[in-house]
Amino acid sequence: MGLALLARPGPRSTSVVLEMKAQPRASFVAWLVIGTLGVAVLAGLVSGAAFDSRYIAVVFPLFVVLCALGLTTFASRRVTAGVLAVACLAGLFSARQWNSQARTQAVQVAAVLNAQAQPGDMVVYCPDQLGPAVDRLLTVPDVTELTFPRMMGPQRIDWIDYTANIQNTSPSTFAQRIVSRLNPGSTLWLVWRNGYHVFGSSCGDLASWLEMYHPGGETVMRQNLNYFEPENLVRFPS
């Protein structure tokens, strides 16, 4: 990308870049990249929008174009091919961990629930972000599913005022409400994990409060840190 912005192709008799001067077409593409990100960042700051690094993927195609323009600055095809090969191998190596790492323990959690949960049981997710993946795999009928902090269903995540809702929800009070809604004779299941942004120790605290109000909890499955999204499953007997 730096070559695209700082150099032009040199004479074909050499293998290096001689003329350090920006390519007009590269400058145009660079302004598109900067402008798109700049407008997005400013709009996000003004509106208070949430942000995750993956959102900048919108400019990735233009970034690739800039890199391609940088490759054209080499006069030698052998040098161009060599640099491109190194870049591709480096990209494959850096992406290897994401392609080889198992995504989530939701499959194992859902398998336990499908084998052991009964109609009328309650499944609680903390944080709520663990809910959608398990819910899609859950086949037990008439199971009540609730999420921390909003005490709503797990099918969707409500991001509106997300931080404020987390900070204003007491794990102790939430645990009391959960136990009060549990059907007599039903089993309570808790899917939880600490470490999510702004949650702090809220989910671990919730597990402790549930144990206090509804003793006898047993960890059926412990989080496996080899997964990108590990999770614990605790069963509180009826």
Task: Check: CB of residue 97 under 8 Å from CB of residue 72.
Answer: no
Measure the CA–CA gap between 236 and 202, rounded to whole angstroms.
19
For the chain, residues classed under CATH 3.40.50 are 106-236
| Digit-coded pLDDT (tens) for 188-227 | 999 999 999 899 999 999 999 999 999 999 999 999 999 9
* Least reliable range by pLDDT among 4-8, 65-69, 144-148: 4-8
CA-nearest of 142, 4, 154, 146 to 64 is 4
Q: What is the pLDDT of residue 110?
A: 97
Task: Note whether 225 and 103 are within 8 A (CB).
Answer: no
Mean predicted lDDT score pLDDT of the chain: 90
User: Please, which residues have CB within 8 angstroms of residue 134's CB and are 6 or more apart in sequence?
Assistant: 106, 109, 110, 113, 123, 125, 154, 191
- Taking phi first (over 0 means left), then psi (-120 to 50 degrees means alpha), and beta for anything else, what does residue 195 get? left
Q: What percent of the chain has pLDDT over 90?
A: 69
Beta carbons of 162 and 152 less than 8 angstroms apart: no
pTM: 0.76
Structural class in CATH, domain 106-236:
alpha beta
**CA diameter of the chain:** 85
